[in-house]
Amino acid sequence: MTDADALGQKAREILLARVARTEDAGRAEALTAFVGLARPDLGPDAAAIVAETAPRLLPKLTEKWVGLFVDRLLETVPHVQIAELCDGTAENEAALALAYVMFLESARMEKQIAEDLAACELPAGADGVDAAAEACRRLAAVEERRRQAMQEKAAAYRRDKRRDN
């Protein structure tokens, strides 16, 4: 194994470990925040339901994208700098992760990610259908509760207005 191979393997290990470490903890929070920003009309309960029921990313895709990043890193960054990023310190691990996120946001990777996700053969069996149906049922229940609360608030406002007049 060459020094470049060892550096690449170390960078892969760091990034995959970081993704695994943050996946569960930050996933729901990030999805809830995204849905809240993208669809504020849904409300926080609906955003949480979407976050809970959204399918997890396939590990093979994460491994592929980390591999593409590391390959590009080895092609473009001096190995001494990569070695520093892989020295085990929290700051350098965070810098490596930030570089990976920036790589994922590149136009090239946006296209690659879209192609990879489109090519995924996600299970279309009863489990997927059941999960989607459950998410829709829960979203409908949240929306109904929100609608009722708005109607009650409007009725209370009308009553208060009549009393004030």
pLDDT tens per residue, range 114-164: 888 878 765 554 455 566 666 667 767 777 777 788 889 999 989 888 888
Q: Which tokens hold the place of 17?
A: 């470990």
Is 113 a residue whose pLDDT tops 90?
Answer: no
Model-level pTM greater than 0.85? no
- CA 130 – CA 125 distance, rounded (Å): 9
Give me the sign of the Cα torsion angle 111, 39, 32, 121.
negative
Predicted confidence at residue 141, as pLDDT, reads 73
